[in-house]
Amino acid sequence: MRSLVVVFVVCALGSLAACTGPAAPAVLPALGPVSASFVSASTGWLLAVPPCAARGCRSLRVRETTDGGRSWFAVPAPPARVSGWPSVIFGESPPEGPAGSVNSVIFASRSDGWAYGPGLWATHDGGARWHRVETRGMAVTGMAAGNGRVIAVFARCPAGKPCQSRVYASPAGTDAWEPVPGTTGAGAGVVIAGPTGYVTASRGGAPPVLLAGPAGGAGPWRARPVPCRQRELGGDVVPLAAAGSVLVLGCGGQPGAGMQVKRLYVSDNGGTSWRRLARLPRLGYLGAVSLTPAGTILASGGRSDVHISRDGGQTWHTSPSLRRADSADGLAATMITSSQGFVLQASIYYKQVWFTYDGGAHWTPVTIR
């Protein structure tokens, strides 16, 4: 009897494992994905936020994958808060938030990466350590990396006045940002294709133009007209994508009632001439375009499905496997390779990232914790 009493006392004092065995490990809550960037088919990083029921729900989390998005592990995050989420997924410009806050992540290599929008944080050791980059009070609204360089749009937005913006460039391994001549009015659509950088720009209420020049900032950039027709203008976002020497540019008319006139154009000579692609469905808004080296084109946006073309833009279709994704607020699709890509959901309720490994034919949700 005495031994039974001893066991009861031990259990009552809290040594429950001695009585019931080891407890099951706690399951971490699902994170809300905000932005993702891959440097190869296997290696990528994700910027996310914890559930708002958790303490510090607007603080950041960073996760890394080395198996193409199938599994993720925690890595250090910049000590910043998130800004403008979830609307930022579709290119909100300028992003709203306190100084130093961010909503996007981009990596140029396994070592060099940045979190931005409107603040700017950098890592040059794969995310082990982050430091804040001085922007002199300007907001960073868009970035692109490639060919050992990184370019960014820096915008100064005085209260009640239009933003004043231009492109800055830096070698990927440093934080030596310098303004690029001829890039005033730069917008959020930014890409690098080989040695050339491209950015959409709007100047003084005139139709948008495409600015192009050396991504290294060694010379001035030149303006080229965009192919958008008058009824295809009016949206806040002119998305841009590149694969090799091919560019795809999106034109969207004045949005309203969940609908918008949308059209994509493709150029294989750096924006000197353009070919008009088949019209996209009017339902939803155009917010993002993506292009694979094999020529597959994806268009997505607010209140929109992901529209896919594998025939050079002659026809568009959607994937039945994405019907379970939350398209009410919108989807944003990005291809990493010709076969692999991901979709982010602009939703506070659905927390998966959707991945494809067969060029967009099938998509699988992954919950990240």
Segment 232-271, tens digit of pLDDT: 999 888 999 999 889 999 999 999 999 999 999 999 999 9
The pLDDT, as a whole number, for residue 104 is: 96
Does residue 166 contact residue 173 with C-beta atoms inside 8 Å?
no
262-267 vs 246-252, strand pairing mode: antiparallel
CA 74 centroid distance within chain: 19
The pLDDT, as a whole number, for residue 237 is: 86
Determine the average pLDDT of the residues in 98-127.
Answer: 96
Segment 209-221, tens digit of pLDDT: 999 999 988 889 9
The pLDDT, as a whole number, for residue 205 is: 73
Does residue 34 contact residue 103 with C-beta atoms inside 8 Å?
yes
The pLDDT, as a whole number, for residue 19 is: 47
Provide the residue type at 282 as one letter: R
The pLDDT, as a whole number, for residue 96 is: 65
pLDDT at 317 over 80: yes
Segment 326-338, tens digit of pLDDT: 888 899 999 999 9
The structure's pTM equals 0.89
Does residue 141 contact residue 118 with C-beta atoms inside 8 Å?
yes
User: What share of the chain in percent tops pLDDT 90?
Assistant: 73
pLDDT at 57 over 80: no
d(CA 230, CA 331): 26
Of 17, 21, 69, residue with least CA distance to 42: 69
Summary mean pLDDT of the chain = 88
The pLDDT, as a whole number, for residue 28 is: 82
Segment 262-295, tens digit of pLDDT: 999 999 999 999 999 999 999 999 999 999 999 9
List Cβ neighbours of 328 (8 Å cut-off, separation of 6 or more): 303, 347
The pLDDT, as a whole number, for residue 18 is: 47
d(CA 203, CA 23): 62
Of 318, 354, 321, 360, residue with least CA distance to 340: 360
The pLDDT, as a whole number, for residue 188 is: 79
Helices H / strands E in the chain, number of each:
2, 27
Band of pLDDT at residue 13, cut at 50, 70 and 90: very low
If you ran DSSP here, which 8-state letter would residue 338 be given?
S
pLDDT at 54 over 80: no
